[in-house]
Structure 1
Amino acid sequence: MSEYVPSVESSGSIRQLFRVIKRNGDAVPFDSSKIAAAITKAFLAVEGPSASGSSRLKTIVTDVTNEVITRLQRRLDGGSSVHIEEVQDLVELCLMRHSLQKVARAYVLYREEHARKRGQETSSSHPLASAEQFSLRIHDVDGQSESLSSAQIFSVLHWACSGLPDVDPQRLFDSAKKALYDGMLASDVTNAMIIAVRPLIESEPAYTKVCAQLLLHKLWAEVTAVMSLQGQIPGAVSAEHYPVLFETGIKYGVEFGLLAPQLLDFDLPRLADALQPERDKQFNYLGLQTLYDRYFLHHNNSRLELPQTFFMRVAMGLSLNEAQPTERAIEFYHLLSSFDYMASTPTLFNSGTLHPQLSSCYLTTVPDDLAGIYGALQDNALLSKWAGGLGNDWSTVRALGARIKGTHGQSQGIVPFLKVVNDTAVAVNQGGKRKGAVCVYLETWHLDIEEFLDLRKNTGDERRRTHDMNTANWIPDLFMKRVFEDGNWTLFSPDEVPDLHELYGAEFEVRYMHYESEAQAGRITLFKTIPAQQLWRKMLTMLFETGHPWLAFKDPCNLRSPQQHCGVVHSSNLCTEITLNTNADEIAVCNLGSVNLVNHIRDGVLDPQHLEATVNVAVRLLDNVIDLNYYPVEKARNANLKHRPIGLGMMGFQDALYALHIPYASPEAVHFADQSMELLSFYAFSASARLAEERGAYPSYTGSLWDQGILPIDSLALLKRNRGSDFCTFDQEQRLNWQAIRDLIARHGLRNSNVLAIAPTATISNIVGVSQSIEPTYQNLFVKSNLSGEFVVTNPWLVQVLKEHDLWDEVMVSDLKYFDGSIAQIERIPEDIKRLFATAFEIDSRWLVEAAARRQKWIDQAQSLNLYLAEPSGKQLDNLYKLAWSRGLKTTYYLRSLGATHMEKQNAVESASNDENTSPKFCSILDPECEACQ
C-alpha cells in the first residue's frame, strides 16, 4: 500500500532555516515529509487502508502539514532549532484544530507506542543523554567559540526558577539537555531552554514566569553586547548593573537617532537609582516576549532596553513638559512598572523618540466632494503610519444614483471609495509594528446602508467587498423606535437631507419626519421606504454572519456628550469606546491608558486610597500626552489642543472578580461593575479638575455640560427626556457625594473635555498579564496566537483553586484541553467553582450588558463591549441588542460565536436562554418576572 506524502512548497526554505533536535541530541534538517507520513499513518489507522490516495486524505495531510510549518515559522527565529517532541506536540494540536480528534488520538497512540519501544532499547550513546556532567562548544555570530558547562546551564535554570512555587529546575535541566548540541549558536542556547520549559506551562502556570526570566537572560546578553559592555558586565542578570545599562542605553539611543536628545537633560544617575529591577519578576512569558518583539528599542536588530529601562524611557518621554521632569519621570515610572496602570501601545512605542506619536485613535468626517474624499484618504495613511487606529464617518457622502452637479452624472455611492479605504489600511500599516486598522461608520438612514451591510460578505462582487476593514452602524433612536413599533423606515441620500447628519434627539426626529413627508409629496425623488424590522433583521443577520457592522447608537453618544456646544459626535473610533466631535476642520484624537483593576484589590475589597493615587498620576500623564504628541495631521493637533480629551479606562476586571470570588454571571458582579466605575470616575473627574486648577481649563470648556454642572450621571436625564421613558430602563443610582465634584469643577473647570473611555487593552493586558479590559475569560486553557508567536495560556486563578481542592493533576489538564478550556462538563469539579470560572460563551451575554450599563452611567465616552453567544439565534440577537439600547449603552463591539466543532463538545451544557419563550419588550436578566430569564 502506497502512502500519500504531499509536496509542501515551503518545506525547502524551512529545511534551511530550522533544525530538529532528535532524542539522541543530534541536530538534523527539518523534513516536512516525515510529518506528512505520520499524519497519513494516523489517518489510515482510523479510516482504514481503503482511504489511501483519497482526495480527502491528500487535503487533510497537506493542510495540517502546512499549518505545522506556518506555526513553526511564527514560533522560531531564523537559525533556531526545535526539539522533535515539540514538533510532534504541534502536529497533535493542529489535528485537533482541524476537528480531527480521532486522527489525533491515533497519532497519540502512535507516539506512545514508539516511546514504549524506545524505552525498551538501550540508552543512547550520545554524551548529553548518558551523562549529567558535560561541556559544549558554542559559537557566536562571528564564529568565535567558547565552552558551556552543564553547571552553567543548571545555574541559569535555577536562577529563573528562584522564588517561584511548584517549579523544578532539575526537571527543566533534564529536558533542556535534549535540545543542546556541540556547535550551536550561543544565542540559541537560551532559546533551547525556553523551548524546554514552554510545554510545562499548561500543567503549571508558574512556568510562564520561568520562561520570562529565561527570555530576560537572553535580553541581558543582547543588550550588553550591543553596548559593548560584555567584558565589563557579567552575563548573568544583575540588579547591581541595571543602572549603567540604563544610562548607557539612553546615550546610545540618542546617538543612534532613536531617542530625543532632550532625554540627556534628565538627572540620569538619579533615574537609574530609582529603577526597581525586582519588578522584572512580574512578567509572564507572553508579556515579556511581546515587549521584546515589538516595543523595545533596537539597533541593527539588537535590543537596547531592559524592561525597567524601557518603562523609565517611556516615563521620561512623558515628563518633558514638566517643571521638574526628573521627579515626574520617577513618579510615572512607578505607575507603569508597578503594573497599576499601563499606557496605550502608541505611547509605549513612541514616548521619548524623535516622533512621539502617542495617541491611539483618530476620528474623521469625510466630506462630500472628490478633493475632500481623497484628502481624507491621505489623512488615513499619514495617521496609520504613526500607529493610529482610524474611525471614519462617511454619512455625508452622497449615495448611489445621486446627482453630481459638476458633471450632471450619477454618483457611484460610497462603496467604491470604501474599497480604497480598505486597501489603504492594508498598504500603510502602523509603523511596521502592527496592521493598519480602520472602522467606517454610516448612519442608518443613508441610502447605501443595505450595500454597506454586505461589505464583509464572502460572496458577491469582490469589487464591492472590504474584507480588511471594520464597519459600524450609527443608529438614531428613531430607527429603534420604529423597529419596536413595526413601522417603516425611509432611506435618503445625504445631499438631499444634509442637516440630518448634524441633528440628534428630538430635533432629528422632527426633521427626519419632515423629509419623509417631502418624499411622499414627491419633492424628494431619491429615497427608499422599507419596514424597519426588515432592515433590523438584516443588520443582525450580517452581524452574525460576518461580525459586522457593529451596532452603535447616535443619540446617547450625543445627548450625553459634554461637548454638545462644540458640535456633533458623528462616529466612534476603531474600537467603539471614543465618542468625540468631528467636522471638516477637526480630527478628533483619543489618548488612552488603563488602570489595572485587580492590582487595587486589597484584603478582599477595592482599595479606594490606592485607586485614587493611581488615577491622580494617570490623568496627569494622559494630559501630558496631548502637549507632547507628534501630530501627523494639523487638524488633529487643532482639535486635541482645543478640547484636550483623554480616555482613562480599566483592565483586569475579570481578575478582580476572581480575587473577590464573584462569578461574572451574578448580581454581585453587576454591583461591583457599578461600584468600581463610580469610584474610578469620581477620582478621574476630581483629578482633571485639580489639574485645571494648576494648568487651566481646556479652551472650549465654557458652555459645556461640565460648565453647566451636568455630570455624566446627570446626563442620563437628558437621554430619558429625549428618548421617552418608555424606552429607557437604565439604573441611575449613585452612592458617592457627587456634589463635591460639581463644586470642585465649578471652581476650577476641567482640564479635559472627556476623561473616561474603556478600550479593549488587547496587547497591554498581555504585557501586564491580566484579563483584557472588561472581558470575561475566553477559555481557561488555550493557545494564543499573535505577532509574537503562539503561547499556551492557563488560567492561574483556576489552577490555584483546583490545587486548594486537590483537583489539579494531569487528568484535569487533559480534560481542560479536550473541552477547549471549559470546566462545565468536568464532573468532579464543584458547581461553585464552575460558576466562578465559567467562560465567555457559558455566560449569558445579558450579564455583560447589565454590567456595561452600570459602567456607562459614569462614563463620559463609551466602552469596547464584546458580546458572546455560543449558538446565536435571531431571537437572542434581537433581545440582546434591544436590551443594550434600552439600558443606555452608547456602543457595542464584536459579536463572537462558537464554531460547530466546539458546540459538539458542549452539547451537554444547558443553553443559557430559551428561544421558545416569548420575552417582554426589554428582557432583563435581573428581572425575576422576565419569562425568558426563567
Structure 2
Amino acid sequence: MSTSLRIEHAASAASPVPPPMLAAGTEPGHQIIRRNGSVTPFDASKIGVALTKAFLGVEGSTAAASRRVHETVEALTKEIVSGLTRRSEAGRTFHIEEIQDQVELALMRGGHHKVARAYVLYREQRAADRAKAVPGMPPASPSLHVTTNDGARIPLDMTRLRTLVAEAREGLADVSADAILEETRRNLYDGITEDELALAPVLAARTLVEREPDYAYASARLLLDSLRREALSAVHGDRQQATQAEMAVHYAEYFLGYVKKGIAAELLDPELARFDLGRLAVALKPERDLNFQYLGLQTLCDRYFLHIEGTRFELPQAFFMRVAMGLALRELDREAKAIEFYELLSSFDFMASTPTLFNAGTTRPQLSSCFLTTVPDDLDGIFKAVKDNALLAKYSGGLGNDWTPVRGLGARIKGTNGESQGVVPFLKVANDTAIAVNQGGKRKGAVCAYLETWHIDIEEFLDLRKNTGDDRRRTHDMNTANWVPDLFMQRVAEDGVWTLFSPDETSDLHDLYGPAFKAAYEGYEAKSARGEIKVFRQVRAVDLWRRMLTMLFETGHPWITFKDPCNIRSPQGHAGVVHSSNLCTEITLNTSHDEVAVCNLGSVNLARHVTSRGIDHERLARTVETAMRMLDNVIDINFYTIPEARRSNLRHRPVGLGLMGYQDALHTLRLPIASEDAITFADESMEAISFHAIAASCDLAAERGRYPSFEGSLWSKGILPIDSIALLDEARGGLALDRSKTLDWQSLRERVIRTGMRNSNVMAIAPTATISNICGVSQSIEPAFRNLYAKANMSGDFTVVNPALVHDLKARGLWDEVMIADLKYFDGSLAAIDRVPGDLKALYATAFEIEPSWLIEAAARRQKWIDQAQSLNLYISNPNGRKLDGMYRLAWERGLKTTYYLRATSATHVEKSTLKGTDGKLNAVLVAPAPIAASVVPDGKACSIDDPECEACQ
C-alpha cells in the first residue's frame, strides 16, 4: 500500500479527533483570539479536556487506557502551557492556531504518532471546510486600533503592514505575501498592543515554514522590524521605526548613535570612539540583514545583542562591526582591518565563537572559548581550582578540569593521619559552582571533569551521572570524560588484568604516555604484587571497559577520550603534557599547576566555500588567512580573569580554527554522508583548511614573530600534523590510516622550519551549536539529525526543514501536504516513504540511519590534518553492547584523539512523556542487550539533542 493510501486509510478508519478548542490556561492576563476575532481569557484546563478526547478517540476508553491517558495528558498539558508562556511577558495574547501548533508539536515530540497524525489530518480538513464556507478572509476592519506603549489608541496602519510583508518576501520566489497577511489578520483584534502587532506577522510566517523553508527568511525579516523599532528608539529617543528600505539611509546615522550610546552605558569600550566611525558606518551593508533565517536572528536577539535593562539597542550589522572593531583594536590600520573582519563575519563565511561575539568591543573582552586546568593534590590547590572555575566561567568560558592528581579513596593524608574521601566529594563542589555561576544570565556555567582510567576512584567516577544512589556522590550537571591510555585498550584487547592506583603513590603516571607510561605502570604493578603499594585494586580490563560503555549508554557520560594520541601527536610535547581535553573534547593543550590552557575558537562555514564543482580553494584561502589573524588578535586583546591563563596563552598562543556546514556542503556536492566519496571529501576539505591555516600562522610569524615556546616543538623540527601520524604508528606498532595528500606540503614544511609559527596550535573542530544557527547552516561535522523537526534551545521552539531536500522534492513533483505529513509521522526520515527515490533517501539519510563507522572513518581522515581534535558525536540506533564495543574500539584503532556525545535511539518508539528521570526531563527507554550490563534502563538516557537547558555545545 502506498504511503498516501495508508494515510487516507488511517484517517478514515480512526474516529475523528477534534482539535482542542483551546482557550488556554490559568496564567493571569493571557488571552486567546478565536477565529471569529473575539478575545477571551486564557483557560488551560480546556487543553487537558481536548487532549483527553483526542487520545480516547484513537486509543479507546478502557479503564487501563483511561489511566494511561490521564497521566499522559497531564504531562502534555504542562509542556504545552510552558511552551506558550516560557518566553512571554504576562498579558500575551495567543491565537487559537498558535496554541494548536503547540499541541501538534507536543504530540510529535512525545512520540504519540497515531494521535498526532489523526490530529494533523483532521485539522487540515477543518481548515479546508472553513475555506469553502468562507471564500476569502475579509480585510481587517478599519475600526481596529493599536494600543501604544504609553496607553494611547491609534488606528491600525494596514498600509505599513503590507509594506513590511512585501519587503519580507522580496527575492523569495515561493513565499506568498497574501498567505502571511491572511494568517496575520487572524491574530489581530481591536486594541492590540504594539508588541503584539509586531509579533503577529512573525508568528504568521513561522507557521508556514514547514511548507516552504524560505518562510524562515521572511520570519526573520519581519522580526527585524520589531528589532529596528526597539533599537532605533533606544538610540535616538522617542518612537522610531524604519522599513528595510529606509535603513539603507538610516543605518550609518544609527551606527554613530549606537557607539555613543553603548559607551555612555559603560557597555562598549571607550576606545571604539577613537575609530574613524564615519568610515566604518559607510562600510556597513544593511542588505545583509536579509540573510538571516528566523532561528539565527532570534538567537542573536535573545542572547547576543547588547541591551540596557532589557531594551536592545544593537542591530545585526552594528553587532558584527562591534565584534570586528573589538578584534582590530591593536591593528596599525584599525579601520581597514575592522572592515575586513566585518566583511568576513557579516557574510557568514566565518564566525567567531560565542564568547568572542558576546564580549568583543565591550569593557570586559573575555573572548576565549575554552580553559583547561589541572587540579593539584592539596586542599588549597583544590579550592583554588574551584575558584578559578568560577572566575573563568563568569565571562562565558567553558571548562575542562584534570582531576587525576587528586588522591583516591582510602589514601593516607599525612597532615591529619586520616584517610582521603577521594575525588568525588570535590567534584560535587565543582558541579555546584558551575551551576551557581551562570555567565551573566546568558548561559549556564559548564564544566567537564577528566579522570585517567588507572585512578582508584574510576568506578565511582563512572557513576557520577546516575539518577540513583547517594546524591552527595552524584554530579547531575557536570560533564565527565574518561582519559584512556593506550595500554588499557591493549589490555582490553588481550582480556588482561588492569590495576587501579591512587596517584599519591604513582604520581609520575600522570605525566607519562606511550612506552614510558607502559614501563612505569608495569613497574607499579610489580610493586603492588610485592606489597610495596598500599592503595590499589585489580579488575578485569574487559569488565571495566564494559562498565564504561554501560554508563556512557545509560547516562551519556563519561565520554571516551584517548590520552596517548593526544600527547604523542601534540606539537608542544617539549613544553608539557596534555592531561585532558575541554568541555567539548576538541581542545588538547598542555596544563600544569602554573599554566591554565586557553583556546580561542572560530569556524569556517564550509557551505560557503563549496560549489557543485568542488572546493573553492581561492575563497577558502582568503577566509582562513583573515580568520587566523582575528583569532591571533584575541590572544593579545583578551581579558584574563586569572594570571595562569594569561601566562599560558601568551607563551603558546594556541588557536582553534574549525568548520561548520559540512552536511550542507555534502548536499551541494550531491554526496551521501555514508559513502566513500564523502570520506574522501572530509579528507580533502580538512587538508585544505589545514594547509591554509598553517600557512597563515607562518605568515603571521613572519610579520609578528614566532610564539615564545616554538623552539623544540614539532613545528620547529618540520613535523606537521600529517607527519605526526608516524609517531603514533611507531608508539603503537602499527596504525591503519590512509595517509594520502594532494597539496604541496614539502614547501610549506620548509617554510615553517625557516620562518616559524605564530601559534602553537591552529586547528580544532568545535560543535558550533549556536553559531551555526546564526549562519543558518548545519552544525560542525554533524550529519543531519532529521529532515523536518522541532528544535528547542534557550530562544524557544523552531520548526527546522531541510531546504535542500525540499528543493529536490519540488523538482521531482513530490513536495505536497502528504509528504509533509509523512515526514512528521516518520520523524523527518525518508526511509519509510515509498514514493521517494532511492538516490534521495541515500543523500538525505539522517543521523540514526547511517552506520556510525562512516562518521568514524571520516573523522579519522580529518584527524590526520588536525593538530588538536574534533567534537565527534556518534549516533547509533538500536544499540547493544557489541555495537558500542566495536564503535569505540574502531575510533581508537583509527587514531582518533577524542569522542564526544553518544546519541542513541531505542528499537521502538515509546511514550516518552510518561518516562522521567529524577531531573524531570523527558527521557526514552534505551534497550542495551548483553554484553552491556544493564538490559533495560528505565531512567537512563543518552544526551538529548538541542536540550534547551544544556549549554555544553552552545
Question: Which whole-Å CA distance do the structure 2 matches of 1:601 and 1:775 have between them?
Answer: 17
1 CA distance for matches of 2:698 and 2:64? 74
Deviation sequence 1:799-850 (CA, Å, 0-9, x none): 0111111111111100000000000111111101110000000111101000
What is residue 952 of structure 2 aligned with on the other side? none
What is the correspondence of 1:483-522 to structure 2 with a 5 Å cutoff? 483-522=492-531
What TM-score, normalized to structure 2? 0.91
**Other-structure match for 2:11:** none
Q: Quick one: distance in 1 between partners of 2:911 and 2:861?
A: 35
Alignment-derived partner of residue 74 in structure 1: 86
For 1:134 and 1:525, how far apart are their aligned partners in 2? 88
In the other structure, the counterpart of 1:608 is 617
The letter of the residue matching 1:87 is: I
- Where does the alignment leave 5 or more consecutive residues of structure 2 unmatched? 1-19, 913-928, 932-954
Match of 2:860, SS state, is helix
Q: Which residue of 2 aligns with 1:686?
A: 695
CA contact (8 A) 2:707 2:758 kept: yes
User: Which residue of the other structure, out of 137, 143, 159, is the alignment partner of 2:145?
Assistant: 137
Following superposition, the deviation at residue 28 of structure 1 comes to 2.0
Match of 1:873 among 880, 893, 899: 880
Quick one: structure 1 residues 879 and 420, their matched pair in 2 at CA, closer, same or farther if it must change by over 3 Å? same
Distance across 2 between alignment mates of 1:644 and 1:603: 37
1:741 aligns with 2:748: yes
**What RMSD, in angstroms, separates the aligned Cα atoms of the two structures?**
2.2
Q: What CA deviation, in whole Å up to 9, does each residue of 1:353-384 have, x standing for no partner?
A: 00000000100000001111110000011111
Return 37-46 or 339-348, whichever deviates more. Answer: 37-46
> Please, which moves more after superposition, 39-48 or 276-285?
39-48
Residue deviations 1:45-75 (CA, integer Å, cap 9, x gap): 2344454995433322211110001111235
What does residue 526 of structure 1 align with? Answer: 535
State whether residues 648 and 757 of structure 1, in contact with CA within 8 Å, keep that contact through their aligned partners in structure 2.
yes
Shift of 1:103: 3.5
Change over 3 Å in CA distance of 1:208–1:518 after alignment to 2: same
1:429-482 deviation digits (Å, cap 9, x = unpaired):
122101111000000000000111111112211111111110000000000111
Check 1:619–1:105 CA distance in 2 against 1; reply closer, same or farther (3 A cut). closer
Measure how far apart 1:115 and its partner are. Answer: 5.7
User: Aligned partners of 1:112 and 1:224: how far apart in 2?
Assistant: 41
Cα–Cα, structure 1 residues 109 and 665, in superposed 2: closer, same or farther, change >3 Å? closer
Contact 2:875–2:903 (8 Å) recurs in 1: yes
SS in 2 for 1:471: strand
1:306 and 2:301 correspond: no
The corresponding residue for 1:176 is: 184
Larger displacement relative to structure 2 (654-663 or 129-138): 129-138
Could you tell me how far apart the structure 2 residues matched to 1:61 and 1:915 are? 35
SS at match of 2:539: strand
Q: Which residue of 2 aligns with 1:648?
A: 657
Residue aligned with 2:440, SS: coil
Q: 1:283 to 1:268 in 2, by over 3 A?
A: same
| Contact 1:622–1:646 (Cα < 8 Å) also in 2 | yes
Matches for 1:527-566 after TM superposition, within 5 Å: 527-566=536-575
Alpha-carbon distance in 1 for matches of 2:662, 2:322: 28
In structure 2, what is the Cα distance between the partners aligned to 1:886 and 1:108? 48
- Confirm or deny that 1:337 pairs with 2:362: no
Please give the secondary structure, in 2, of the residue aligned with 1:227. Answer: helix
- Residue 840 of structure 2 is matched in structure 1 by 833
How far apart, in 2, do the equivalents of 1:105 and 1:336 lie? 42
Alignment of 1:156 onto 2:164? yes
Mapped to 2, the partners of 1:112 and 1:650 lie a distance apart of 41
Structure 2 Cα separation of the partners of residues 558 and 603 of structure 1: 38
> In 2, are the aligned partners of 1:365 and 1:582 still within 8 Å (CA)?
yes
Equivalents in 1 of 2:737, 2:860: separation in Å?
7
Secondary structure, aligned partner of 1:214? helix
Instruction: State the alpha-carbon separation in 2 of the partners of residues 679 and 484 from structure 1.
Output: 36
- The code of the aligned residue for 2:70 comes to K
Offset of residue 177 of structure 1: 0.5
Give how far 1:488 is off.
0.7
- Aligned amino acid, residue 175 of structure 1: E
Alignment of 1:461-472 (within 5 A): 461-472=470-481
Equivalent in 732, 757, 768 of residue 775 of structure 2: 768
How far, CA to CA, are the matches of 2:547 and 2:309 in structure 1?
52
Give the counterpart of 2:713 among 671, 694, 704: 704
Q: Aligned pair in 2 of structure 1 residues 654, 902: CA closer, same or farther (>3 Å)?
A: farther
Q: Counterpart of 2:411 in 1: which secondary structure?
A: strand
Amino acid at match of 2:517: F
How far did residue 134 of structure 1 move?
2.9
Partner of 2:433: 424
State the one-letter code of the partner of 1:97: R
Determine if contact 2:763/2:867 at 8 Å carries over to the other structure: yes
Which structure 2 residues correspond to residues 316-715 of structure 1 after superposition, within 5 A?
316-715=325-724
Of residues 9, 28, 44, the one that matches 1:15 is: 28
Alignment of 1:56-95 (within 5 A): 56-95=68-107
Q: 1:116 to 1:890 in 2, by over 3 A?
A: closer
Asked whether the equivalents of residues 867 and 894 of structure 1 are also in contact (C-alpha less than 8 Å), the reply is yes
**Greater shift after overlay, 759-768 or 84-93?**
84-93
Deviation digits for residues 559-603 of structure 1 (CA, Å, limit 9, x no counterpart) = 000101111000000000000000000100010000000101135
Mapped partners of 2:121, 2:746: distance in 1: 69
Distance 1:801 1:107 in 2: 28
Mapped to 2, the partners of 1:172 and 1:120 lie a distance apart of 19
8 A Cα contact 2:612 2:668, kept in partner: no
Give, as a single letter, the amino acid of the residue that structure 2 aligns with 1:732.
R
Q: Which has the higher contact order (CA 8 A, sep 6+)?
A: 2
Looking at structure 2, the residues matched to 129 and 851 of structure 1 have their Cα atoms a distance apart, in angstroms, of: 53
Counterpart residue type for residue 197 of structure 2: V
Return the match for 1:38 from 22, 27, 50: 50
Q: Deviations over 1:500-540 (max 9, x none)?
A: 00101110000000000000011112111111111111111
2:786 corresponding residue in structure 1: 779
Aligned in 2, Cα 1:405/1:690: closer, same or farther, shift over 3 Å? same
SS class of match (2:789): strand
Partner of residue 923, structure 1:
none
Change (3 A) 1:853 1:904: farther
Report if aligned partners of 1:82, 1:195 keep a CA contact under 8 Å in 2: no
In structure 1, what residue type is equivalent to 2:77? T
Q: Deviations over 1:685-715 (max 9, x none)?
A: 0100110111000011111111111111111
Q: Distance in 2 between matches of 1:110 and 1:51?
A: 26
Change (3 A) 1:720 1:458: same
**What residue ranges of structure 1 are gaps of 5+ in the alignment?**
1-5, 906-913, 917-934
| Alignment equivalent of 1:166, drawn from 166, 174, 180 | 174
Deviation at 1:238, TM superposition (A): 2.0
Match of 1:482, SS state, is helix
How far 1:185 sits from its partner (Å)?
Answer: 1.2
In 2, are the aligned partners of 1:414 and 1:448 still within 8 Å (CA)?
yes
- How far does residue 81 in structure 1 lie from its aligned partner after superposition? 2.1
Secondary structure, counterpart of 2:419 in structure 1: strand
> Structure 2 counterpart of 1:630, which letter?
F
Contact 1:64 1:94 in 2 (8 A): yes
Give the whole-Å Cα distance in 2 for the aligned partners of 1:103 and 1:474.
Answer: 46
Q: Which residue of 2 aligns with 1:797?
A: 804
Task: Report the Cα offset of residue 116 of structure 1.
Answer: 7.6
**Does residue 246 in structure 1 map to residue 255 in structure 2?**
yes
TM-score, with length taken from structure 1: 0.93
Cα displacement (A) at 1:105: 4.7
Q: Which aligned pairs between 1:165-204 and structure 2 lie closer than 5 A? A: 165-204=173-212
User: Which residue number corresponds to residue 932 of structure 1?
Assistant: none
